[in-house]
Amino acid sequence: MGRFPAEVCDSVIDYSSWDPTSDKPDYGALRSCALTCKGWLPRSRAHIFHTVELNTQEKLGCFTRSIETSPALGDLVLKLTITHPDDDQPFHLMVAFPTKLAARLPKVKSLAIESPHAEPSVIRLSPEFFQSMSKFSTLTLLRLFHVEFHSFDDFGSLVCSLPNVIAIECWNVAWSECDANPFSETACPKITSLKVDDIEPTGLTQLLRAVGSSIRHLTFAADNEWLESFISDEGMSMAYLTRLKSLEIPIRLDRADFRMMKALLTQFTCDQLLGKLTFSFHYGCTDTPLESAKCALSGLQRTGIEDILTWPQFSELEEVVFRFSSVRDTDCLDRSWKMELISMLPRLQQRGIAQVELYA
């Protein structure tokens, strides 16, 4: 039997690499591919080490020994996830991993830190921790999930320690002590993309002030209650974002307050020329019926949001996107919904910038 072409073998490995029932690689299938023949080993390894997830000190030690023995394996790691183990102890793994891995992962692009089990999850971070973090020179994306830092200074120092990070995502991030503002003393990396959900408002304001001249894309991923609190207490901080080009605002249809969105948009100044504005409507975990979508756009009209979008600071808008969640066939729904909903926004329709999207 002849050998298969290399591209066919690569396609088989690529197809086998992902578990269709989850959002994670199928490591069992990849290990089988790696053992199939010598020719399949390099590509199988690339998939196996593309994303590394560590949640115990033992796994950290084992992985460290592997890349010490075979340094080439460290070159394959592009995404690193550090997760708090399922216990009530402080997040010691987060404190330990930089000194062991920073100099051994020369191509890693994304770092995720997750701590859903312990509060406060992170003990006070030392200068040595931040010095080690600065060696992640190829890191461009930092993602923090359910992390409670010992202090705001630790959070800010972590951000400032990463020299080339350009995108940050913060989901349920807090700190036990709100002490010094590290952004006032240390240069912040030039963040261009920020996604936030339930982060302490005062600290977020300090971050927005620090990245205001560089940030291009801002996504609020929080439910209405947190966003209302931020707008009420710290909404004026939006004025710091002098180069913002796209903004995404989430709205739950079952408790929408369009006055909140109006208050947020009125914080923009004539110096800020937004290019894309996205309203993401969702209704829990169910689909959005057409009538609910109509009610949402009617609410926008009654609140005067379409009128606000005629102001000079919104004159450069190229897209105003209204996204609605759906569990149905989005291709079918898109054809029947799109024009009917856009017609409810005559000024935006006349400018040719209104769009309707459906997402699962």
- Are 242 and 213 in contact by the 8 Å Cβ rule? The answer is yes
pLDDT beyond 50 at 29: yes
Task: With cut-offs at 50, 70 and 90, classify the pLDDT of residue 25.
Answer: low
> With 80 as the cut, is the pLDDT of residue 48 above it?
no
Domain segments of the chain: what residues? 1-49, 55-215, 239-359
* CA end-to-end distance (rounded Å), the chain: 45
The arrangement of secondary structure in 55-215, i.e. its CATH architecture, is Alpha-Beta Horseshoe (3.80)
Per-residue pLDDT band at 222 (split at 50, 70, 90): low
Mean pLDDT over 336-360 rounds to: 88
Residue 247 vs residues 91, 171, 177, 188, 285: alpha-carbon distances, Å: 33, 17, 30, 21, 23
From residue 278, alpha-carbon distances to 169, 250, 289 in Å are 18, 8, 19
Average pLDDT over residues 58-77: 92
**Measured CA distances, 223 to 133, 260, 300 (Å):** 32, 12, 18
Q: Provide the pLDDT for residue 359.
A: 75
